Each structure stands twice: as structure tokens, then as C-alpha cells.
Amino acid sequence: MGLFDTAGSLMDILSKVDSNDVTAISDRAGIDASQASSIVGMALPLILKAINNNTSTEEGLIAFDNALKDHANDTHFDSVADYTRKADVEDGDKMLNHLFGNKTGIIEKIADTLGLSPAAVKRVLVLVAPLLIKYMADNKKNKQLTAEEVRRQAQTEEETLQNQYEEQIRRYEEQIEQLKRQQAQQQGQVTQQTERREDYIPKIPQQPGNSTTNDGAFGGILGSLIEQMSQKGGGQVSQAPKSENKSIVESLLDSFF
């Protein structure tokens, strides 16, 4: 049985991603696990958004639907780690060209957003893109989805990921506020005892965005992404302005297209 044969949604797959899968991706890409996780976390919604942009026209939808039919017969894998070790990166590179058109611009913007090298970002994207396409191809075949159902599925998957991102950002910001309150309280106590407040430097737990949540491994992926973006942005999760009708994630994604 293949990796995607019993998957109900992309979140079902992501919830089963474990440290071995992340390590396989990071090893193949030649970067550390936290960097790989942050790239994966940003790549997934971007790829889904690109798919939704491309399938917004009937011509684009038909072309994408036909591509899924072709990939439905690709080799099946037992796990993300198994897929990663055997993935055809040249095919992944071609997929990026089809999805984004100007893949170089997207790669450079992801790299700049996360504070990583474009080469590292590309090495992860050529693994993630075909994995996502294979998931959608198998899902179409197993559920006998029409082209229109494929379009709706991609839209739903993007929306679900955005909701997960917004929830994780909310948790991250709550943790930061809690840390600030704890620091203020500790500083006040030390000031009362020593009257040398300027000499006291409170300890900040590392990577508050990676705390254990009910999201399992995917929560860790999102935590790595948020932490990486926060470090790059000087403590800000996103430099993209949040409009009245758009979430932080939507505003960020729109800045790439």
C-alpha cells in the first residue's frame, strides 16, 4: 500500500510526519532539520497557492488534471522518508517551473524571508513539490475525482493550511507575551533585592514556537517556520502588512505573487 492510499487530506499526511521524515529531507538537502522544516512550512502553502492560481482558468485546470493523471502511475512509497531518498530532483525542478513560472524569483524570496541561501531552499523545494503533486494525483485516482473536484480540493487544502498557520502564530505570540510578563516580574524581583536592575539579564527559553502542541509533528514544522521568520524579521513573525480582510498568512502569500 502506498503512502497516500488511505490519506483523507493533506493534514492527515502531515500529522504522520515524524523526525525520520524531516531528517531524510534535511540530509538530502544538506541542511539542518530546523531549516528544512521552515522551508517545508513555507513551501506547502505557496505550492498550493500556485496550483490554485494556475487552475483558476479552465485551460489551466484541464492541464493540471491531465498532469495528475500522468503522475498517478508513478512509483509508490511507504513513507515520506522513503520517497525523499528516492525522489527524482530533476523532475521536481521541472514541476517548480510549471507551477511558478519564475521559480528563481520565488526561491530567492523564500530564502530572503527565512534568512537562508537560495540553493538550500531549492534543494528542499524540488523534494516537496513532487511529493505534494503525487499526493494529489493518488487522491484523484483513489477517489475518482473530477477536474472540478480537484480544484475544490486544492482550494480547501490551502485554506486549511492557512488556518493552521494562523493558529500557530496566535500560540507563538501568546507564548512571547507570557515570556515578557515573566521577565518583567523577574526583573522587578531582582531590582528589589539588588537595586541593580541594569545588571540582570533574564533567560529566554529558545524556540518558543516549537513547544509541544496537539498538532504533533506538523506543529513542529510550523514552529520552525515561525521561529525562523521571527529571527529574520527582528522579532516580527511577518513583515507583510495585514489588511482588514486578510490574515497574516494570506498577506504573506500574496507578497510572493
The conformation of residue 75, written as its DSSP 8-state character, comes to: P
Average pLDDT per run of 10 along the chain, which is 257 residues long? Answer: 64 77 93 90 88 94 95 83 90 92 87 91 94 91 94 92 80 81 79 55 44 47 58 51 56 67
105 and 122 in contact (C-beta within 8 Å)? no
What was the pLDDT predicted at 192? 62
Question: All 3 cell numbers of residue 20?
Answer: 525520520
What was the pLDDT predicted at 223? 59
What was the pLDDT predicted at 145? 95
What was the pLDDT predicted at 212? 38
What was the pLDDT predicted at 241? 47
Largest CA distance in the chain: 72
Q: Crossing angle for the helix pair 216-232 and 33-54, nearest 10 degrees?
A: 90
What was the pLDDT predicted at 226? 57
127 and 37 in contact (C-beta within 8 Å)? no
What was the pLDDT predicted at 17? 78
What was the pLDDT predicted at 188? 75
What was the pLDDT predicted at 201? 44
How many structural domains does the chain have?
Answer: 1
Domain that holds residue 78: 1-257
b (16+ CB within 10 A) / e for 1-18? eebbeebeebbebbeebe
What's the Cα-to-Cα distance from 207 to each of 27, 34, 210, 231, rounded to whole Å? 22, 10, 6, 10
